[in-house]
Structure formats: C-alpha cells, structure tokens
Amino acid sequence: MARWEQYGVLCSANERRADEASRDVEAWLKSQYMRGRVGEQYLGRITGVAPFGVFVTLDELFVEGLVHVSELGNDYFQFNEAAHELRGERTGRRFRLTDPIDVQVSRVDLEARRIEFRLVSRREAVGLPPEPQRPRAAKPAKPKTEQVEKAQAARREARKRTRAPQTTSRGRGRGARG
C-alpha cells in the first residue's frame, strides 16, 4: 500500500510542475505577442485591485497586465480591500473590480513575463485629443454652527468604527501631501 501512496505523491508533484510550466510558457507567449504591440490601445476590464495598481485583462486578447498606481493620475489613492477599489483622495476617482478601462501597452518585460499598461482616456482611445483641463473654482466656505460640527464629528467616528481596514498607495512621489 505504501508504494501506491508514493506513486500518488510522485504523480501529484509531476502534475503541479507541469501546470506551472504550462502557465509559465503561456505567460511568455503572451508577453512575446504583446512586445510587438507597445503603443497600441485596447479596451479591458479591471480583474484585480492591489495597493500598487490595478490588473487589467484586455477584452479582445485575454492578456493581463498592470496599470501601476503612478499611471492612474496625479492623486493619492486609498486602497479599500473590502470594496476591491482604489479611490483618489483628491478627485474621488474610483477604480473598481470589473470596471471597463481604456489602456495603452507601455512596456513588456519578456524575462519577467510582465506586461505594463498606462491609462488613456476614452477620447484618446478613439483618436481624439484629450480634453483640456479646466481649473476648478474654489467653493466659498460656509460658516458652520456648533451643532453641525458635532454631528459631522459623530458621523466620522461612526464611520471609523465600521470601516474596513484600509491601506494607502502612493505613486512615485505624485500627489504627496504638503
């Protein structure tokens, strides 16, 4: 009986090695294919969210790559693991699991079998120039009553107690607080 257990263990180990080799070859082939497509733009979906960026799978090619947090815009992004999202602290822009996203292939590392994307706007994806950034007018501050301030403080405390643990991500020095 011990001999059959040894055969089983050996077969399982060989199967795991074969699966790993198959995944490695598939990643290399995808990287090789995308190496010739640097600069091209594609529509994809966010299939993973991490403190350092979002993973995107291209709709047409089923190739996955990373959009690093530094490529998401000039903002400080909060990672919310429970909600599977990155949210810009200043802009409120959210990147959530399954969101559609337009990307451009920016770099392919064949040795590491890694594909990197950069975010492009919908206008850029269809060949139009990006919309010019308009400066926002500052809103005048409203005087707060003591009762309003107490209610807001109580809401903040309640949110802190019920909020899922969050970590933060910062892209290469952009969006640093001053």
The per-residue pLDDT for range 5-49, each reduced to its tens digit, is 988 999 999 999 999 999 999 989 989 999 999 999 999 999 999
Question: What's the average model confidence in pLDDT over 108-127?
Answer: 81
For residue 75, how many other CB atoms are within 10 A of its CB? 19
Measured in whole angstroms, the distance separating CA 82 from the mean position of its chain's CA atoms is 14
Average pLDDT rounded to a whole number, residues 152-177 = 62
Band (136; pLDDT cuts 50, 70, 90):
low
Query: Which pLDDT value is given to residue 163?
Result: 62
How many whole angstroms separate alpha carbon 126 and alpha carbon 124? 5
